[in-house]
């Protein structure tokens, strides 16, 4: 019947929503019937897949060896600049001078020697020379001593030439000339291992100095070390989740308690993850430490489906056959779980798209997509089969733990109290009019009898509003302080030598930026005074090591005039570059000869910027200032340092995946605005997800978490985790037919609160062991996922139950419908009484 005043289009959309909803429910009902009729098949197929792919995973396991490929932006201008710089000035021509770290360094070893507090490292010359000689005498070195750098320098007061009074540390670098040969690379790898062992040995001999070593493989080794350190902690997490799921699925009622289903639900998610890992390694995937988050991400989504199916089973009628109860549970739960799994797949699929510029994020999202698909399949097949067997045991009145027949009440009366406690049904003495025995589950009982009344109390609501304002304020404040995490140290084991080395380097060698190569890649009229002025302006503000400036000084001191091309190049080649003190500049100039005439086709200078403690941020600013000048000035140049590969547009590269994922979620929710169960449900879902996402983003920033690849993956997961838990609660609320909003939210919490609380509690308890893994990567993972679970729990149980009682949807039309039905029923009864006055009692 059409409601007065309702437009025809609205009626059409409403009918379409009902058709789609009932169609999905019908499909899920049939799926449940199919699983209940063939449980052995749906139990066997996933088990066979896991055995097949799990064994393959063990045989094909291979770690990723290229750290730059994983965490540096895949498409960046810095990589193009590196290729151009390497083609102009090859690596083997740069090993003989001080600034060879302008290229990708290849194999190298670095050591920092730090004197005790208050001492001068310059007075420890004997220890420094002994260390230096010990490194040079190593076997198969093929090494080249490049140079040293002082740190913690104190200058002589009032010194015009900046004479050094004392220094706290010295850094020495040793490069290995491998020239890309595979054999020499293996020799270099062996040398680096021996180098690190030697530094540890020298540390024991020289107690007056602190030695910190770093080699080219150190970053990769300490990045992979996280996975080794986390192995035992992940197993502890699994045990904790298994225990929590088992206990939260238990009841005093030995017939209706389902502890084994909670246990089997977690194991179902585990075997789906193992299968996904097998598929990944079969397709030539290589493991890296960022994939450590997949078990926690998949567990958070998978166990939600497990607990929702258990709640759906509890809501079915006990007097139905167990097969029908399975089908009803599927039609009740799997529609929403299908929608949330689809959103998981869409968001992580967008993260795996070509738009993602970080390879580690792309690989993670690809694996997550496979895990979500297998997770969904295993939940409705493997776990559904387990639910079928558990339902059959319950229908036949078998004990939920011991799988034996539950004795009659007369038999139990003759037994001891402990036997009655273990074997008692708990509801045998109750009336047959018991509406739902499952309401005695301890979580459901707590929500129904205590929490629902408390959270909807009128005196509690003002404090909840104040709490949300505080939450929003801190979140907004954190969002204004977001910083990118281009520092590779954020992904390493916290107690590793690389982190120790980086901390000392940051403390004592942060006054200057890395050496920046300034490459002029086109012919230039260096003898022209205007060109000379342009070069000086470009290099102003930097400490420059320039053959051009040295040559100009040489001409000035020698009183030589070189105002034209021939004189300039002739004096440069025949006089300047042959001087011993200037011979190292030969590698910085590329000449070409056409007949008897020589030309300078390219050259390079070296720039060093003065920086503060926030060295990395200032280097990025220098890069962003110099690049536009290369396009606007007449001098065509590029600037490069190997660290630019990691810094180049890193903040944009890491934020793009979460922006794309967030846009995808909003787009899907908006496009389905008039196709879902209720459009207001989508509206509230968008608001809730946005609030949770911004809350996690702001709070993690206040918790000193940078925007690196791990935190970005956690933010993508936060979108889905929030939808996973808020969607069932909101859609149940908007469809509820109770008289008031308060009654509707109570009904929603009673229906879905148990599953939400079970899942979030298991999820958060499973994160605790990550806190004990000494790794920056796992610390970031722990912080972000803890905030994700905490903010979601806050919204589901505190914020939404209060705010939904203030705002639409209104429940007045449900009240009018019920009044109209009651009035119509009373009129029918009156008519029947008037027609049969002798049978009033029967009416």
Per residue in 541-568, pLDDT (tens digit) is 787 888 888 888 888 888 888 888 888 8
**Per-residue pLDDT at 732:** 86
Which of the residue ranges 14-18, 81-85, 220-224 would you say has the lowest mean pLDDT? 14-18
Contacts of 165 (CB under 8 A, 6+ apart): 154, 155, 156, 157
Sorted by where each starts, the structural domains of the chain and their CATH numbers stand as 10-60+263-418 (1.20.1640), 107-249 (3.30.70), 454-483+676-811 (1.20.1640.10), 506-646 (no CATH)
**Per-residue pLDDT at 56:** 78
Residue 351 binned pLDDT confidence (cut-offs 50, 70, 90): confident
Tokens found for residue 6? 């309702």
Higher pLDDT, 764 or 599: 764
Taking the C-alpha atoms of residue 762 and residue 300, their distance in angstroms, rounded to an integer, is: 8
Average confidence (pLDDT) over 360-382: 93
- How many other CB atoms are found less than 10 A from the CB of residue 522? 10
Q: Is the pLDDT of residue 662 over 60?
A: yes
Taking the C-alpha atoms of residue 391 and residue 326, their distance in angstroms, rounded to an integer, is: 8
Instruction: Confirm if 264 and 383 have CB atoms less than 8 A apart.
Output: yes
Q: Is the pLDDT of residue 831 over 50?
A: no
Instruction: Confirm if 797 and 753 have CB atoms less than 8 A apart.
Output: yes
Residue 832 binned pLDDT confidence (cut-offs 50, 70, 90): very low
Give the alpha-carbon dihedral of 375, 380, 383, 387, to 10 degrees.
Answer: 160
Q: Is the pLDDT of residue 6 over 70?
A: no
Q: Is the pLDDT of residue 768 over 90?
A: yes
**Per-residue pLDDT at 161:** 62
Which residues lie across from 210 on neighbouring strands? 114
**Per-residue pLDDT at 437:** 67
Taking the C-alpha atoms of residue 285 and residue 265, their distance in angstroms, rounded to an integer, is: 28
Taking the C-alpha atoms of residue 311 and residue 387, their distance in angstroms, rounded to an integer, is: 12
DSSP state of 770: G
Which of the residue ranges 175-189, 222-236, 346-360, 600-614 would you say has the lowest mean pLDDT? 175-189
- How many other CB atoms are found less than 10 A from the CB of residue 166? 17
Residue appearing with tokens 């040398």 = 191
End-to-end CA distance of the chain: 29
Model pTM score: 0.86
- Residue 145 sits at φ, ψ, to 5 deg, of -70, 120
Q: Is the pLDDT of residue 817 over 60?
A: no
Higher pLDDT, 363 or 821: 363
Which of the residue ranges 86-95, 525-534, 791-800 would you say has the lowest mean pLDDT? 86-95
Q: Is the pLDDT of residue 763 over 90?
A: yes
Q: Is the pLDDT of residue 143 over 70?
A: no
Most confident of 102-116, 595-609, 745-759: 745-759
Q: Is the pLDDT of residue 254 over 70?
A: yes
The answer, yes or no, to whether the previous bond of 809 is cis (omega within 30 of 0) is yes
Q: pLDDT by residue (tens digit) across 259-306?
A: 899 999 999 999 999 999 999 999 888 888 899 999 999 999 999 999
| Cβ-based burial of 370 (10 A; exposed 0-12, middle 13-18, buried ≥19) | buried
**Per-residue pLDDT at 536:** 85
DSSP string of 468-499, one letter each residue: HHHHHHHHHHHHTT--B---GGGGSBTTSHHH
Q: Is the pLDDT of residue 156 over 80?
A: no
Q: pLDDT by residue (tens digit) across 23-43?
A: 888 999 999 999 999 999 999
Average confidence (pLDDT) over 383-408: 84
Average confidence (pLDDT) over 655-679: 67
Mean pLDDT of the chain: 81
Taking the C-alpha atoms of residue 294 and residue 785, their distance in angstroms, rounded to an integer, is: 12
Taking the C-alpha atoms of residue 124 and residue 167, their distance in angstroms, rounded to an integer, is: 11
Taking the C-alpha atoms of residue 277 and residue 299, their distance in angstroms, rounded to an integer, is: 14
What is the torsional sign of CA 107, 499, 165, 129? negative
**Per-residue pLDDT at 841:** 38
**Per-residue pLDDT at 609:** 79
Which residues lie across from 171 on neighbouring strands? 112, 149
Higher pLDDT, 428 or 235: 235
CA 393 to each of CA 36, 196, 322, 403, 423: distance values in angstroms, whole numbers, following the listed order: 13, 62, 9, 7, 15
In residues, how long is the chain?
843
**Per-residue pLDDT at 95:** 45
Instruction: Confirm if 527 and 568 have CB atoms less than 8 A apart.
Output: yes
Q: Of 37, 39, 26, whose CA–CA distance to 332 is shortest?
A: 26
Average confidence (pLDDT) over 696-715: 89
**Per-residue pLDDT at 482:** 81
Higher pLDDT, 363 or 666: 363
**Per-residue pLDDT at 80:** 83
Q: Is the pLDDT of residue 675 over 70?
A: no
Which of the residue ranges 262-276, 477-491, 829-843 would you say has the lowest mean pLDDT? 829-843
Instruction: Confirm if 639 and 623 have CB atoms less than 8 A apart.
Output: yes
- Residue 613 sits at φ, ψ, to 5 deg, of -70, -30
Alpha-helical regions (H) of 249-293: 259-282
Q: Is the pLDDT of residue 136 over 80?
A: no
Tokens found for residue 697? 């983003």
- Over pLDDT 90: what percentage of the chain? 26
DSSP state of 73: B
Taking the C-alpha atoms of residue 138 and residue 141, their distance in angstroms, rounded to an integer, is: 6
């Amino acid at each position: 019947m059409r409601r007065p005043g309702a437009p025809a289009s609205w009626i059409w959309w409403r009918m379409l929503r009902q058709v789609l909803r009932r169609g999905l429910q019908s499909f899920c009902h049939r799926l449940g019937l199919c699983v209940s009729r063939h449980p052995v098949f749906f139990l066997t197929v996933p088990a066979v897949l896991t055995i097949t792919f799990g064994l393959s995973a063990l045989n094909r396991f291979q770690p990723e060896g290229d750290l730059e490929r994983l965490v540096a932006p895949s498409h960046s201008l810095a990589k193009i600049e590196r290729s151009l710089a390497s083609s102009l000035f090859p690596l083997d021509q740069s090993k003989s001078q001080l600034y060879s770290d302008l290229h990708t360094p290849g194999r190298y070893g670095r050591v920092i020697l730090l004197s005790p507090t208050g001492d001068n490292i310059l007075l420890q010359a004997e220890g420094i020379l002994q260390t230096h000689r010990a490194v040079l005498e190593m076997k198969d070195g093929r090494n080249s001593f490049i140079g040293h750098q002082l740190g913690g320098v104190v200058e002589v007061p009032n010194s015009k030439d900046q004479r050094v009074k004392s220094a706290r540390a010295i850094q020495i670098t040793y490069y290995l000339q491998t020239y890309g040969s595979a054999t020499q690379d293996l020799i270099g790898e062996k040398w680096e291992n021996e180098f690190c062992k030697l530094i540890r040995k020298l540390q024991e001999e020289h107690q007056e100095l602190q030695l910190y070593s770093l080699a080219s493989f150190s970053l990769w080794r300490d990045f992979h070390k996280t996975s080794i350190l986390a192995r035992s902690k992940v197993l502890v997490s699994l045990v904790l989740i298994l225990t929590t799921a088992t206990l939260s699925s238990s009841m005093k009622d030995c017939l209706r308690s389902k502890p084994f289903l909670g246990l089997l639900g977690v194991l179902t998610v585990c075997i789906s993850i193992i299968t996904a890992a097998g598929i990944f390694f079969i397709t030539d995937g290589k493991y890296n430490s960022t994939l450590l988050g997949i078990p926690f991400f998949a567990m958070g989504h998978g166990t939600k489906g497990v607990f929702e199916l258990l709640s759906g089973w509890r809501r079915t009628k006990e007097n139905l056959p167990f097969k029908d109860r399975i089908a009803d549970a599927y039609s009740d739960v799997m529609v929403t779980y299908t929608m949330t799994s689809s959103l998981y797949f869409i968001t992580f699929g967008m993260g795996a798209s070509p738009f993602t510029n970080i390879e580690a994020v792309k690989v993670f999202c690809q694996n997550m997509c496979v895990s979500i698909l297998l997770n969904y399949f295993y939940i409705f097949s493997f776990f559904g089969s387990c639910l079928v067997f558990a339902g059959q045991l319950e229908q036949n009145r078998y004990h939920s733990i011991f799988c034996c027949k539950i004795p009659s009440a007369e038999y139990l009366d003759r037994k001891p109290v402990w036997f009655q406690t273990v074997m008692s049904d708990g509801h045998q003495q109750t009336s047959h009019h018991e509406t739902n025995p499952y309401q005695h589950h301890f979580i459901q009982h707590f929500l129904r009898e205590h929490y629902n009344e408390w959270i909807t109390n009128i005196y509690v609501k003002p404090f909840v509003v104040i709490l949300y304002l505080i939450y929003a304020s801190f979140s907004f404040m954190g969002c204004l302080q977001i910083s990118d995490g281009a520092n590779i140290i954020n992904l390493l084991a916290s107690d590793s030598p690389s982190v120790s080395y980086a901390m000392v380097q940051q403390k004592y060698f942060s006054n200057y930026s890395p050496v920046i190569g300034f490459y002029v890649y086109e012919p230039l009229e260096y003898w022209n005074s205007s060109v000379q002025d342009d070069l000086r302006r470009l290099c102003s503000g930097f400490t420059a090591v320039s053959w051009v400036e040295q040559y100009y000084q040489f001409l000035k001191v020698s009183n030589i005039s070189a105002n034209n091309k021939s004189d300039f190049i002739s004096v440069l080649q025949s006089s300047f570059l042959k001087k011993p003190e200037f011979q190292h500049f030969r590698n910085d100039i590329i000449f070409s000869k056409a007949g008897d005439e020589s030309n300078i086709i390219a050259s390079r200078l070296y720039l060093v910027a003065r920086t503060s403690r926030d060295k990395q941020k200032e280097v990025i600013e220098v890069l962003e200032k110099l690049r536009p000048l290369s396009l606007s000035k007449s001098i065509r140049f590029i600037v490069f340092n190997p660290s630019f590969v990691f810094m180049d547009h890193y903040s944009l590269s890491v934020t793009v995946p979460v922006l794309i994922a967030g846009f995808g979620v909003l787009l899907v929710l908006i496009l389905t605005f008039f196709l879902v169960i209720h459009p207001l449900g989508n509206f509230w879902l968008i608001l809730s997800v946005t609030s949770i996402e911004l809350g996690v983003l702001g709070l993690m920033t206040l918790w000193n978490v940078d925007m690196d690849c791990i935190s970005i993956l956690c933010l993508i997961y936060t979108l889905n985790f929030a939808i996973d838990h808020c969607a069932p609660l909101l859609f149940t609320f908007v469809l509820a037919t109770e008289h008031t909003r308060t009654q509707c939210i109570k009904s929603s919490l009673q229906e879905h609160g148990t599953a939400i609380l079970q899942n979030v509690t298991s999820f958060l308890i499973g994160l605790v062991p990550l806190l004990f893994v000494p790794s920056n990567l796992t610390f970031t993972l722990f912080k972000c996922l803890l905030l994700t679970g905490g903010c979601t729990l806050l919204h589901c149980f505190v914020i939404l139950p209060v705010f939904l009682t203030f705002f639409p949807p209104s429940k007045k039309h449900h009240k009018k419908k019920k009044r109209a039905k009651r009035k119509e029923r009373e009129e029918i009864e009156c008519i029947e009484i008037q027609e049969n006055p002798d049978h009033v009692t029967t009416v």
